[in-house]
A and B are shown apart, each in its own frame.
Chain A
């Protein structure tokens, strides 16, 4: 007997429609508006002037002498340093936890993640109080140091988590094979473990690099508004009604984000390490 199948009145595919609309209106549309503002002037006419101004300085002065240039360089400096410091702390931590003999490894890992659940402004506030107490808060020569410290303090868990997830899943037999074949532990680590944990490192970097270039709450808080980063520049553009300039900056950041994500394979949703905290629960 052949089964007569009724035409499905209800298809599970259709459930995607509300969320697709949501993404279209509230995620894609806003980005298109940014593109629009970046390529138009105050009256809404098409222009490339915003980019020219961005890269030249407004009063005809060289781009390399503008405050904007200083902000950008400073931003990259802070961001690269913060990412490196995070990596140098996070990798050993993740490695030690993943390879320790404790039964309750995830319990130990949790100790490093728990602070993430305290509101980040409260945490940064706590750190600020400590700096104030030591006496290096709001001192010009310490501003860059304090900013990097704040970023590392805020983003360290985002670096530890993906690296740990990759290392814990590594197939130990590769390492053992290298050791059996006569590699020293150091060589074995450099040529086996480290390359195999690249995915975790990459997603950790992408989780720290952009935020430490844009999280102006941290930089403002840690330096009493003295140290400017790209994020604070965008914020100030918006607040001072310089929407076109803000959009140009945002668009450049967006391009950087797409390049980085593409380079690190972040759009590949198959990998389980690339989302902050989802693997945590």
Chain B
């Protein structure tokens, strides 16, 4: 009886994993298909990969510029968010809970509402989209709150006496900030940065409303391809990209797990 139950449990887990992974795995397999469809297998080929990894074709430059945008947005968000977190943490209760509340708005708001309202602002203050400022600031609105949400818990865990001790021992406040507070909240800062990168890479709606017309991100490009529905070579080269991304992520996760297990082993 117990065995049947435990079998059913793992069967359920397996089915859900199948649901999550089947589409990605299927695309991975068919990224090696000679044809540009998954309806029939016409022999093994690396054509999709060759097409994708050629700088003369559209996809690779778009992937690279999406990455560059993500790094810029994440860096700016992390700096702004970290400074903001420290400020919020040491503000009076009323100020800090007000700012924390506003900080929650972009987190829980529907993305399309965030995007449309931000687009209204862009029109109102008349900043041309071709300056990239609307795009970068728009994505910062999306990312910075998450930086704050990752940094503030670390500030709470911190031992406040250390900062006071540093001041008593003659450190200037700036020095104490950089050499006492920052190292302790570093894990939160890194987490916020990584989260911002993934949010920016994943964003479609904000980018669609704020990007310069000539600029494409991965999301907006694939979405525009789906609308046209014709350019199959480009579309299937993105399958190759999906496969590559997926394999990189799997490799990273396995490495992280191995490292974690080794650490756990050492402790024991």
Min CB gap A212→B, angstroms: 10
Check B90–A12 contact: CB distance below 8 A.
yes
Among A92, A125, A247, contact of B222 (Cβ-Cβ < 8 Å): A125
Among A19, A34, A114, A117, contact of B144 (Cβ-Cβ < 8 Å): A19
Docked CA distance A180–B22 (Å): 43
CB-CB under 8 A from B194, the residues of chain A are 281
Check A19–B108 contact: CB distance below 8 A.
no
Min CB gap A201→B, angstroms: 16
CB-CB under 8 A from A221, the residues of chain B are 223, 226
Indicate whether A130 reaches chain B with its CB closer than 8 angstroms. yes
Docked CA distance A75–B101 (Å): 28
Check B26–A129 contact: CB distance below 8 A.
yes
- The SS class assigned to the B binding surface is helix
Q: Nearest CB to that of B118 among chain A residues? A: A30
Indicate whether A67 reaches chain B with its CB closer than 8 angstroms. no
CB-CB under 8 A from B117, the residues of chain A are 30-31, 33-34, 250
Min CB gap B4→A, angstroms: 15
Given A12-B90, A14-B87, answer yes or no on A214-B110 (Cβ-Cβ < 8 Å).
yes
CB-CB under 8 A from A177, the residues of chain B are none
Indicate whether B80 reaches chain A with its CB closer than 8 angstroms. yes
Check B124–A254 contact: CB distance below 8 A.
no
Given A16-B87, A19-B80, A238-B119, answer yes or no on A250-B113 (Cβ-Cβ < 8 Å).
yes
Check A18–B173 contact: CB distance below 8 A.
no
CB-CB under 8 A from A39, the residues of chain B are none
Min CB gap B110→A, angstroms: 4
Count of A-B contacts with CB under 8 A? 251
Docked CA distance A217–B191 (Å): 27
Check B20–A12 contact: CB distance below 8 A.
no
CB-CB under 8 A from A108, the residues of chain B are 13
CB-CB under 8 A from A73, the residues of chain B are none
Q: Which A residues have a C-beta under 8 Å from some C-beta of B?
A: 8-20, 22-23, 25-31, 33-34, 37, 89, 92-93, 96-97, 100, 103-104, 107-108, 110-112, 114-123, 125-130, 132-133, 153, 156, 206, 210-211, 213-217, 221, 225, 231, 234-235, 238, 243, 246-247, 250, 253-254, 257, 261, 266-267, 269, 272, 275-278, 280-281
Q: Which 10 A-B pairs have the closest CB atoms?
A: A19-B84, A16-B87, A15-B87, A30-B117, A281-B191, A126-B23, A214-B110, A12-B90, A10-B173, A33-B120
Q: Which B residues have a C-beta under 8 Å from some C-beta of A?
A: 9, 12-13, 16-17, 19-24, 26-27, 30, 38-39, 80-81, 83-92, 95-96, 99-114, 116-121, 124, 137, 140-141, 144, 146, 148-150, 152-153, 172-174, 177, 190-191, 194-195, 198, 201-202, 204-205, 209, 218-219, 222-223, 226-227, 238, 241-242, 245-246, 249-250, 253, 257, 260-261, 264
